[in-house]
Structure 1
Amino acid sequence: MKPLPREQMDFLALRAKRKAMKLRQVDLADALGISERLYRQYESGEVDIPKTLAWYINTRIYPYVMKPAK
């Protein structure tokens, strides 16, 4: 299966990235400036993840959290 572009993310990828970053749902919701309830709706697939939010997670949050310690 071909990976999605940076500006697209499905709810399974969102959950996998959050778990890889070892963050709770409430922590990532807070970092994104959204309510925990809305974040849970994204992660459950109830609500589609906006392209801008997917881009922000993929290009700003995930690389920063996952960079190796120096």
Structure 2
Amino acid sequence: MLLVFLGFLALGAWQVKRLFWKLDLIERVDRRVHAAPVAPPGPDVWSNVTADSHEYLHVRLSGTFLYAKNF
């Protein structure tokens, strides 16, 4: 019976830890989704791009469609 109780206690602690992880994830995603778009990182900072720093980052791009290169 003690082993079952300790198992349930471990599962409860894991669920609380998971809850805080999920709340942090939701807050990070919400903050980045509603942020204003920024210029994309240039080649000089590509080595510093990580999922933690650039996940769900809105970027602003512009360009010209090259119709001659379409096939």
TM-score, normalization by structure 2:
0.25
TM-score, normalization by structure 1:
0.25
